[in-house]
Amino acid sequence: MTPHADVFQDYRNQFIAALAAAADVPREDIAREVKTADPAHGDLQFPAFSLAKKLRKAPPAIAADLAAKVQVPGLDVIPAGPYVNARFAVMPFSARVVDAVRAAGTAWGHNAEGQGRTVVIDYSSPNIAKPIAFHHIRSTVIGHALANLYRAGGWRVEGINYLGDWGKQFGLVAVGYGDFGDPARRGEMAHLVEVYVKANKKAEADPAYDEKARAFFKRMEEGDGEALKLWREFRETSVEQFGKVYARLGIRFEHMEGESFYQDRMDAVIEEIRRTVGVRESDGALIVDMPYAENEPPVLLKKNDGSTLYATRDLAAAMDRHARFHFDRALYVVATDQALHFRQFFTVLKRMGKPFAENMVHVNFGRVHGMSTRAGQVVLLTDVLDEARARALEKVRENAKAGRIHTDNPEELAEQVGLGAVVFGDLKNKRTSDYEFDWEQVLSFEGHTGAYLQYTHARACSILRKGGGAPASADAALLVLPEEQAVLRALAALPGAVRQGIEDNEPSHVARVLLEVAAAFSRYFTAGNQDATKRVLLDGNDPLRHARLMLTDAVRLTLRSGLAVLGVPAPEYM
RNA sequence: GCUCCCGUAGCUCAGUUGGAUAGAGCAUUGGACUACGAAUCCAAGGGUCGGGCGUUCGAAUCGCUCCGGGAGCGCCA
């Protein structure tokens, strides 16, 4: 990784430096204003309005003046009204992009800025014994992509699956098991979920039943052997099931933990809070004694029966994680619903005098709406993945029959395509926006979907196979077609998307760039249908053929690299 | 009721943190396979950026307000 692999950023920095020197103002004043331009105008634009007051001149005059002074090799600078526009000259731009991509290979887009820093990412973290519905895909897939993203940024990543394996919901399952349980289906996750749903419903209607569940959990906290034995068994069943889904998604956590991990530290944590912030009793419960906004609920550490709550366990876990990993950043990939909890939880840590609380972030995401179910039940994640695989398989068979593809393992390919559709479907939008669940949309392989990226990647691979692979060297100066220049610009955007993705904890930045790459390359290779001179695989030993193969290889590498970050498989045939 | 988030094409969403004529996909209509594989591409129609007021050279983006939707608001996680 050379420090200047981000070609786009290099040009931008040079443009800024030249403008600052020409206008005799601090670089920061210019840097704020320089944007990527509409392709019709160029690659970079600087609106001169902000200098008008300082220089006491009209913006168009400033732009004209600056344009005359700014000289950067490889950058064509043109004044246009109040704007100073700049366009990358075909050379050296083309050569720099192609060289950078091929030097980095499948690590294209990566950087080393996080070197020596550690991020802890709490993601997926399902609640054991609660329904594992489709919406769990969000924390899992976003967290996984973030883990990959930070690794691509040079960070040390400690991914933690922090199971919700402690709390009243276990009491509900245990008590409910007596009434609704089927011993023959004892080891089935789906059965546990059924029991939970029924017990939860009953508890909502009957306070006495809820009380029984609470009492069971209290027994767990007191170390009751029989209660813990049942808990251990249910936990085991759930973890086993989760493992299958994670394997399918290609996810491996550095740490598999759970709230139960901290049960024996509750007293010490509460004692520390008592010493630093203060605690007090309220309606029989133990709460953190600090100012609360009107209408804001207090942070509860213990219920009136003495058992603990998740806030208490989260506090213990946070301190433990900092002690273990000395993190520079800690992410909690959890739905927006829990915003209040995290705000309070971080506030308590700050009041306890923990500076690391400043580096903790609630990476929130929106809800999944409209989960209209087929049989009136929750939509399970595995159901969606199965359905996606089934639909992809139809398409694979169809294409194989038509002679378009040859694969010796249609099932595996279908699984990859189905997975790509579901995973990418979740990651392509900003994580904070709500998610509209729609079978047709989630399972779609047409348009700008996961399959689109995979297809484009497979096509690039196909062209390379037919063309005898990527050449050792070629002349990038020959890549003068507008279609080729558009592809190059898309490729050059990946490093910026990775950096921005880390800054915003937002995988969709990478997803968007990949769509741009695929769209630009798709336009390019279908242009060859109409106009044979635009094809990659020209006859003979044409230098242009070499240059285009090299470009195709760069596309292939960019898609592979980006898809890997998103956790989407990239098959070579499709 | 209070707090926070959201409202952009018929539908699902982008919109470079205040910059030039608001963009994609789906759906609709028309077109491109004897072709580097059509899970693709091209074209067309479709917009008072929820309404109003304001801030300034400039607003989908910032502020105020109204309308509409969502979430959270003590012993669940």
Tell me the ipTM for this assembly.
0.95
Which residues numbered 462-501 in chain A sit less than 7 A from strand B, measured from CB? 462-463, 466
Q: CB of A510 within 8 A of CB of A494?
A: yes
Q: What is the pLDDT of residue A84?
A: 96
Q: What is the pLDDT of residue A4?
A: 54
Tokens of A573: 């045939």
Which of A46, A40, A124 has the alpha carbon at shortest distance from A83?
A46
Query: Does nucleic acid strand B have an atom less than 7 angstroms from the CB of A264?
Result: no
**What's the farthest any 2 CA atoms get from each other in chain A?**
86
Cα separations in angstroms, A169 against A140, A175, A192, A218, A492: 21, 10, 11, 12, 49
A130 CA: nearest nucleotide by C1': B77
- In chain A (574 residues long), the average pLDDT of successive 10-residue segments reads 73 96 93 92 95 89 95 95 96 96 96 97 89 82 98 98 93 91 86 86 90 94 94 92 94 96 95 96 95 89 94 97 98 94 96 96 87 58 92 92 85 96 94 82 92 97 95 95 96 96 96 97 93 91 93 98 98 94
Which residues numbered 385-424 in chain A sit less than 7 A from strand B, measured from CB? 392, 395-396, 399, 404-405, 413, 417
DSSP state at residue A298: P
Query: Does nucleic acid strand B have an atom less than 7 angstroms from the CB of A437?
Result: no
Q: CB of A549 within 8 A of CB of A536?
A: yes
Query: Does nucleic acid strand B have an atom less than 7 angstroms from the CB of A202?
Result: no
Amino acid occupying residue A311: A
Q: Starting at the edge strand that comes first in sequence, how are the strands of the sheet with A44-47 ordered?
A: A35-36, A44-47, A83-88, A75-80
Pairing between β-strand A118-122 and β-strand A156-163 as defined by DSSP bridges: parallel
What lies within 8 Å, CB to CB, of A465 at 6+ separation is none
Question: Which residue in the block uniquely carries the two structure tokens 């007293």?
Answer: A267
Q: What is the pLDDT of residue A377?
A: 57
Q: CB of A94 within 8 A of CB of A86?
A: no
Please give the model's pTM, rounded to 2 decimal places. 0.95
Q: Can you tell me the distance from the alpha carbon of A140 to that of A137, in angstroms, rounded to the nearest whole number?
A: 5
Q: What is the pLDDT of residue A133?
A: 73
Per-residue pLDDT tens for A491-542? 999 999 999 999 999 999 999 999 999 999 999 999 998 899 999 999 877 8
Q: Can you tell me the distance from the alpha carbon of A30 to that of A76, in angstroms, rounded to the nearest whole number?
A: 18
Tokens of A275: 């010493």
What lies within 8 Å, CB to CB, of A40 at 6+ separation is none
- Nucleotides in chain B near protein beta carbons (<7 Å): 1-6, 12-17, 19-21, 24-27, 32, 35-42, 57-58, 70-77
DSSP state at residue A57: S
Q: Please name the residue ranges forming H helices in A408-542.
A: 410-427, 439-442, 450-466, 482-492, 494-504, 508-530
Query: Does nucleic acid strand B have an atom less than 7 angstroms from the CB of A534?
Result: yes
Q: CB of A476 within 8 A of CB of A91?
A: yes
Q: CB of A134 within 8 A of CB of A231?
A: no
Q: CB of A464 within 8 A of CB of A556?
A: yes
